[in-house]
Structures are given as C-alpha cells and as structure tokens.
Chain A
C-alpha cells in the first residue's frame, strides 16, 4: 500500500485554485453517462448527491433511515464556522486555518485545512441562497456568535438547530434532483459491502431493510459519507443507528483507515442515569459561556449543592486555566472533569458528574435572559433528569461525541482504493487530533458542495473504465460473502442479544480506551476484545428471518463489525505513544497534567492496512510537514 497525499505544489493559499485549474473536466454531455453511488445522506452525502446531480451525473443515493432527512447531522446544535469576518473582529481565512490546525494539535494536513477555511465562506452563501433561516440582526444581516474556544465571532447559527436547518437545505436540494430524475433515492437500504473490480471501487452490495433482499449496484465511482464511529463506546451522543459498517467494509476491501484513536469526548453531556440508558444527550457547549463548572473541594462531600458554601467549592477550570476558564477546549475540559471525579469529588447519584452552575449568571443578567438565551436547553434538561437547572446546578459529564479518525483520503478525498471517495466525518482529514466546535458542519458541506464535484470529474476524466455489470464474478462473490455472513448470524441461536455484546464492548472501550489511555489499559482491551468476539459468534441470539424487516439482524451485523474495529482503534492508540488533542496517554503528560505531544516521533497520520480478523494490521505513515505554521505547545492557560 502506498500513501500519496497528492498535495499540490505552490504556496499554501494558491494550492486549491491552482489544483482546480489543473484537474480534468468531464464534458457536460458526457456527465450523464456516469453513474455515481453515494452512501449516506447527512450533510456530506446529501450535499454531494445534490451537487453532482445538478452537474448532470446519474446519482444513486442510499441511506438506512426511512428518509434522507433524518441522518445524524440533523442533531448538531451549535453552529457552523466561516471566515467571513462580518464582525470586523480580526477574523480571516488564515486565522480560521490556524485555529483549526492548532485545535487539531498539529496532526492534520496543512493544505486540506487551508482549503477548508477558504471554502467556508462559500458555504454560508450557498446555504443562505437555499433559504436556510440563519439568525439575523435587526438590520437584516447575518448574526454570529463565538463558540468553543474561538476568540472571534465566526459561528453562524439557526437557534439551537443549525445542523437540522443545514441538513434540510441539502435535503431539499436533493429532493429537487429526485423530482428531476437525476437522483434515485434508496431509503431503508444498508450498504453491507464494497465491490472492487480490477483494483477500483465499482459497486456496493446493499440490503433492502424492508424486504431483506440483497442487491448490488454498479457505478463509476463510490462515495462514502457514512459518518463516525462513536457508538463503538455504546453510549455516545450519536444516534442509535450510527455505525462503522460501511467504512469498515471498505477497510476490509483495502482502504486504509487513518487515526482511528482520535475520538472526541464532549464535555457537556447529561450524566448516565442507569443501566437502561440507550444514548447520552448533549447539552450545547454554548452553555459554558454563562455556566461555571465546579465540584466540592472535599472528596465524598454529599451535601446538596446549595448547602455547599463558596469556600468549599472548586471551580477547577477557572483555577487551572485562568485565561480560558470554563471555555477551555473540549478535550481539556473533559479530562479535567474526569480527573476530579476520579479523585472522588464527582457529584450526582453515581459520582460521575460535575456541576454547571448558572446562579452567578442569573444574578447578573436575571432568569429571563438566561432562559431566552438557551431556549430549549433548560426544558430538555428538566425532561431528562427531572431537575430544574435554573433552581439548582446542572449536572454534566463528558461523553463520546465525534470521531476525527476515518478512512484515509488524499487531497482529492479519494481513499487508497481508486474510485472510492470518502467525505465528512467518515474520512480523517481536516480535524487532526481534536475538532473545534462548529467545524464539523463546515467540513461536511465543504466536502460535498465544493470539493467532490471537482475532484470526482478529474478522476472520471482521467480513468478509462470498462463496464462492471452486477452479474460479474466480483459482484457475485461479494454478494455470496454477505449472504453467508447473514446466514451465520442467524444460525448461531445462542442466548445473548446483540445489544448485550455491544454494551459489554462499549464499557470495555470506555474504561480502557476512553478519555485516558495507557499501554497497560490498551493491552488489556486488546486482550479482552477477541474473547467477546468469540462469544458473540458462538452465543448470539438473532430472532426472525433474513427475508423480512429484521432490526435485530441489522444491529447484529453492525455490532459484529464493531467487535473487529475496536481492536484497530486500540492498536492505533497503542502505537501513538504520545498525548495529543483528544488522545491522552497517561504516560505522556506535563507535571500539571497537560497532554505532552511528541513531534519528533509522531508527527504523522497513521494509516492502517487490514490483514485479517484478529491479526495485527499494518501501519503506514504519512509524515506531516508544516510549511506555514510552527507546531507549538497548545496552551489555553
């Protein structure tokens, strides 16, 4: 396997423009001769499908949900960044670029990040033109707020539903193309394998989730926009259906998987309340603008919060990071919360929580202002916990939220399998070891609206392909393998449900490979995962049949992939013997507990090659070179 990032030459600021000129074009009359398969209908998938169909390509779009409007991008609350500098507060493309590189702890590719910052301004224009109802000022201009540790106001938002509105914009653009017959939409359809013909991605095998039928689709290129893998931890802020299957299948077919250990833990989620819990709910990070985070000074102090006097409280973020205080970046705030809970100072029924207190803000601004500023968030918290956070502090705890790792892609967003492109959270590009707030929506839409239309045409125009009919041997072999696997899942007839295995794996991963990792914990996880997998394949119980709507069967297939993928994640975390961004190895910290990066040895992207189930994958390194920025110690003190 050879990694060629294909970063264009020339000065950073001119690379994308130069590259766009150098890339080949497909004649408009020829575009309709190409068929493009797009898997996933979140921001990246929907924007790609719509944009490609507008250009004239034949697009087949797939999602496992009942409608393309439901992909998990819809749940993003906070906002989307763009270097518009509408606020005249010193923002610029270069500053957004720099903040993103620094936020990612210098583990991302400069050229990609710079392009992302350049494109950010076009995204806002495009979304406004589609009718996305962004927040406005009284003068009618777009409103901005500052978000997640940025010192400028560059975040555009639609109340607390920015992801929803951006996704509906892309969904509506798709709807227009569906009506025009240029997108064929396949809802309730799950991709179960990638078909590679003569070394190129030429198709997919899918299961119709209503009839249970397997079917193959052939195309000239395959685009995966299938999201992240936070649900490997079982409990996360992701939707129940989020999974790694499409990306993992591609990995097994030869696509390198990059930086799987870069998983982001979001600091402000509602703590776990019990064993039954199916997911964790995020409380918008914006709450940290007005809330003060604290725990009791003494371990085991079980007094109710209002009975703990000021001198017995520890506002630990303000104490440790005086200049950023409660607004410290996500990874830093999360680890600090874990630390105080490990010391026995956590709050709530199970001691895994910290207070987010609005009392000072309410005294300063009054209750109505706080209520208006955070709209739906306080009622939502009350519904879930039964507590009124305007009367007593909120309890929060970190939870898995976003995964920076993903399939390795070059500058053109193409994986190591020619013809397989990967967009959005499913790829590894742009966020390095840690993603800043309001940057995920930006990246998903940049990839789909403004990058793939160019890079795909370059691939199609410079590749000679013969037809790959779905009755060819590669398709038949792939279908047979998928069918056999389904039959195997159904034939075990053991005692335990897929959920019980998922929960067991998730707990292991959270404890051993979560917010803090060590050589010892990772080896323990690597030792235990094969045993869980072994039991899964011997004691799994899947009810029902193949040829019907069978949610247990769908779920079992996804858990089976997580049981292999989890090992890859641990191998990567073990190899990366440094702390950087969201990846914290307890062996590598400064005396005051900060992450200690090792640029000499680890300034690379880890790209893993599959070698077989239970076998150690092969590591390939893409060395990161920094021409414009100088990797520095990330200090938020």
Chain B
C-alpha cells in the first residue's frame, strides 16, 4: 500500500511548527500505524534527516504512551483502540493521512508529535488514591465487594491515561479522565472515607491545569481506546455536587 502523509513537525515548544508531506511506499497492511512511522523514520535516518519524534512504549494498547491525532481523530479511525493498535489495513491504498499531536492548552508541545501530559498525573496526585500505608491491611476477604460494583469499578479503572478524551473534546476537558478515577474509587468500599475530599481536590486541580468543562458532546467516549462511558461524567457531577454540599470531611 502507498500513502501520502502530512505530519506535524516542530523542533521545540518555542519553535514554529508546520505540516510536512512524506510519501510512505510499499506499506504492508499488517503493519501497525506506528510501524509504518518506524519505516518512514528509518528512511529519514538513512537520508541523514531527523526522524519524527513520537511517544510509544508497550505497543499493545495498555501503557497509554502513544497519542496521535490521525485525520482529526485521536488514535485514528477504529473505535476502542490506541494508536499502536491501529493497523494499516483500516486505511485505503493511496489515502492521504494527516498526523498531528494532541492539542490542548494543558498539554504543552514538547517536540513534533510529543506533548507533555503531566497535568493528568497532577490530577491523580490531588486525590486519586486511597490513603493507606503499606502494611496492616485487613484480609482481602474481610470487606466484601458486590460483584456488580467491582465490575463497574473495573470499567472505570480501565483508563490508560492517554489523554485522547482531552484531545477529542472541543473544550479540551479532562472530565472523562477525572471521572474514571473518581468513579473507580467511589464505587468501592475502600474509597469511601475520602470520597468527598477526593472529588473536590481532583476537580479543583483539573480546573487549575487549564482543562475546559464538559458540555456533553461525548467526543471523549467516542475517542477513548478503552471505551469508557460518559455515564461516569454524570457520576462525577453528582459526586462533586454532593461533596460541595457536604463539608463533613473537610
């Protein structure tokens, strides 16, 4: 297969960026999108040109490193997959493909297709945990968890922290990311003692980082490689409202 690629190149945060056109020839349909970029990069290196910088690590859709906007869609055309699990057979031979970084104020660009997503880490640092030290935990079966709650908590906990939800949202909102962690812990008995504090602190941090608000476009759910439901955002809103009304654990 052959493709015409238009790829965002930018040397650093202070430099001007632009789209550069490359030809990708003799691409196998069995290649992943990132392997196609690997092939292109190898060509660039042998020509003495600088390869395209992009993040990737596990290449099986779980680490959340890869983050490409492909033809305007985070992680590309297929639903429920990360960029690394997008295979070239989903494109048409001869197609033009536009590749850009995630674009959001809270994700400053580092180089080419790499952005800084540490704002997401700081949201978790604000409260996305259970305050329990190592040691002294009760027996695992001492606290029973209904299967349905555990399953639903797992649905939320599946988030890989890639930031596709932010990239997809016209408000660059991190509500789906934040909601996934808030809901995961609010659904489990272990998360109850800090339930109110957690949601308040995480939402405040989210606002401080410069993420926008949710206006119910649901683009985040459509882009999420783990197909995390926007219903969790509804739960986040309920949790936040309850926490603001109830200051008992301040």
User: Using a CB–CB distance below 8 Å, which chain A residues touch chain B?
Assistant: 47, 50-51, 54, 65-72, 74-75, 84, 86, 122, 124-131, 133-142, 156, 158-159, 161, 164-165, 168, 171-173, 175-176, 178-179, 185, 187, 210, 239-241, 273-274, 276-279, 281-282, 380, 383-386, 449-450, 453, 495-497, 499-500, 541, 543-544, 548-549, 551-552
B157 close to A168 (CB less than 8 A): yes
Closest approach, in angstroms, between the C-beta of B111 and any C-beta of chain A? 5
B141 close to A86 (CB less than 8 A): yes
**Which residues of chain A are within 8 angstroms of B49 by Cβ–Cβ distance?**
543
Which of A66, A165, A179, A548 counts the most B-chain CB atoms under 10 A from its CB? A66
Q: Which 4 pairs across A and B sit closest by C-beta, in order of nearness?
A: A140-B144, A172-B129, A129-B137, A125-B137
B134 close to A176 (CB less than 8 A): no
Which of B65, B120, B144 counts the most A-chain CB atoms under 10 A from its CB? B65
B125 in complex: contacting residue of A47, A175, A187, A543, CB < 8 Å: A175
Interface presence of B101 (CB below 8 A): no
Interface of B is mostly: loop
Q: When A135-B150, A278-B32 are in contact, do A172 and B161 touch as well, CB less than 8 Å?
A: no
Interface residues of B in 118-176 (CB under 8 A from A): 118, 120-121, 124-126, 128-135, 137-141, 143-147, 150-151, 153-154, 157-158, 160-161
A133 in complex: contacting residue of B134, B137, B143, B153, CB < 8 Å: B153
A75 close to B58 (CB less than 8 A): yes
**Which residues of chain A are within 8 angstroms of B118 by Cβ–Cβ distance?**
66-67, 187
Interface presence of B19 (CB below 8 A): no
**Which residues of chain B are within 8 angstroms of A128 by Cβ–Cβ distance?**
137, 140, 143, 190
Closest approach, in angstroms, between the C-beta of B160 and any C-beta of chain A? 8
B138 close to A179 (CB less than 8 A): no
Interface pairs (27), CB distance under 8 Å: A50-B134, A51-B134, A66-B116, A66-B117, A67-B118, A67-B121, A75-B62, A126-B137, A128-B190, A129-B137, A131-B129, A131-B153, A131-B185, A133-B153, A134-B140, A135-B150, A172-B129, A185-B121, A240-B56, A276-B28, A276-B35, A380-B85, A384-B87, A497-B46, A549-B114, A551-B53, A552-B51
Instruction: State the CA gap A380–B61 with chains docked (Å).
Output: 10
A279 close to B59 (CB less than 8 A): yes
**Which residues of chain A are within 8 angstroms of B81 by Cβ–Cβ distance?**
383
Query: What residue in chain A is nearest B89 (Cβ atoms)?
Result: A386
Query: What residue in chain A is nearest B80 (Cβ atoms)?
Result: A379
Closest approach, in angstroms, between the C-beta of B229 and any C-beta of chain A? 16
Instruction: State the CA gap A278–B144 with chains docked (Å).
Output: 43
**Which residues of chain B are within 8 angstroms of A75 by Cβ–Cβ distance?**
58, 60, 62-63
A165 in complex: contacting residue of B58, B64, B139, B157, CB < 8 Å: B157
Query: What residue in chain A is nearest B205 (Cβ atoms)?
Result: A179
Q: When A70-B64, A497-B42, A543-B51 are in contact, do A172 and B130 touch as well, CB less than 8 Å?
A: yes
Interface presence of B23 (CB below 8 A): no
B45 in complex: contacting residue of A68, A135, A139, A541, CB < 8 Å: A541
**Which residues of chain B are within 8 angstroms of A276 by Cβ–Cβ distance?**
28, 31, 35-36, 38-39
Instruction: State the CA gap A127–B140 with chains docked (Å).
Output: 8
Query: What residue in chain B is nearest A498 (Cβ atoms)?
Result: B45
Instruction: State the CA gap A139–B149 with chains docked (Å).
Output: 12
A133 close to B125 (CB less than 8 A): no
**Which residues of chain A are within 8 angstroms of B117 by Cβ–Cβ distance?**
66-67
Instruction: State the CA gap A27–B197 with chains docked (Å).
Output: 32
**Which residues of chain A are within 8 angstroms of B93 by Cβ–Cβ distance?**
none
Q: When A131-B185, A543-B45, A548-B12 are in contact, do A72 and B128 touch as well, CB less than 8 Å?
A: no
Interface residues of B in 176-201 (CB under 8 A from A): 184-185, 188, 190-191
Known pairs A142-B141, A281-B59, A549-B114. 13 more at Cβ < 8 A? Answer: A69-B124, A74-B63, A86-B141, A125-B137, A126-B134, A131-B188, A140-B145, A158-B154, A159-B158, A173-B134, A175-B128, A383-B78, A552-B51
**Which residues of chain A are within 8 angstroms of B206 by Cβ–Cβ distance?**
none
**Which residues of chain A are within 8 angstroms of B89 by Cβ–Cβ distance?**
386
B30 close to A549 (CB less than 8 A): no
Interface presence of B55 (CB below 8 A): yes
